[in-house]
Amino acid sequence: MTTICIMCADAHHPRVEPSNASAKGGFSLPEVMIAVAILSFLVLANFSILSLSRIQTVKDHERGIMLDFASHYLELVKGLPFADIKNGSPVNALYDGTSGGALVVIPISTDWFTIDDANFQAFHPDLVWLSPRNPQMSVFLETREIAGVPHDKRIQVLLQWDAPMNIGNKQTLRMDMVRVKDL
């Protein structure tokens, strides 16, 4: 009967240990440092992208509010009788300031004025969201005549408000409308 001694077999064939770490399948310190640097760069890039995305989302939301405001304003002006489209007249009978209602008019001057007040917030409640951004408006009204008779009225609405987090220039929006005299 023959027996094999496992310890004896190991003694005749000693295990050879590798002399460096990469031969063991591990990573050296410079390799780990480079990997950490690359991962750190990617994480910081993602945070930057998320931050810029958030700012762009806020800008788009505010632009949508102002676009809706300008559309509402011009639609009401468009609905006025041709002769009533003039500087100083209200944009609609509901917004003529009587009986405690809001007063929203076609301004007399083309100067910038604030739309961050109770009248304009009653006219367009979403303007409350832009209150911290100092929203302003300027309106140009021009009457064109053909052969000495008023033919059409052109109205241009310019809006501006501060950028989110005061990063960048003022945000702006322009809408134009032409109202031709009824026959």
pLDDT value at 76 more than 60:
yes
Tokens of 163: 């950028």
Q: Is there a domain that residue 28 lies in?
A: no
Structure confidence at residue 52 as a pLDDT band (50, 70, 90)? confident
Q: What is the predicted pLDDT for the residue at 6?
A: 53
Closest CA to 179 of 106, 113, 110, 83: 83
Burial 145-164 (b: 16+ CB within 10 A, else e): eeeeeeeebebebbbbbbeb
What tens digit of pLDDT does each residue of 27-51 get?
899 999 999 999 999 999 998 899 8
Q: Is there a domain that residue 39 lies in?
A: no
Q: Is there a domain that residue 35 lies in?
A: no
**HSE on the CB side for 64, CA within 13 Å?**
8
Distance set, CA 24 to CA 20, 34, 88, 118, 163 (Å): 7, 20, 86, 74, 57
Phi, then psi, of 144 in degrees rounded to 5 = -100, 135
For 138, the domain range is 44-180
pLDDT value at 20 more than 70:
no
Q: Is there a domain that residue 151 lies in?
A: yes
Give mean pLDDT, residues 105-130. 95
pLDDT value at 167 more than 80:
no
Q: Is there a domain that residue 26 lies in?
A: no
Q: What is the predicted pLDDT for the residue at 174?
A: 97
Q: Is there a domain that residue 7 lies in?
A: no
pTM of the model: 0.75
**Rounded Cα distance, 149 and 151, in Å:** 6
* CB-count burial class (<10 Å; 0-12, 13-18, 19+) for 135: buried
pLDDT value at 178 more than 60:
yes
Give mean pLDDT, residues 149-153. 94
Tokens of 15: 């295990």
> How many domains are contained in the chain?
1
pLDDT value at 4 more than 60:
no
Q: Is there a domain that residue 83 lies in?
A: yes
pLDDT value at 10 more than 60:
no
Give mean pLDDT, residues 5-31. 63
Q: What is the predicted pLDDT for the residue at 26?
A: 83
Give mean pLDDT, residues 122-145. 95
**Enclosing H/E stretch for 180:** strand 171-180
Give mean pLDDT, residues 97-103. 90
Q: Is there a domain that residue 17 lies in?
A: no
Q: What value does the mean pLDDT of the chain take?
A: 88
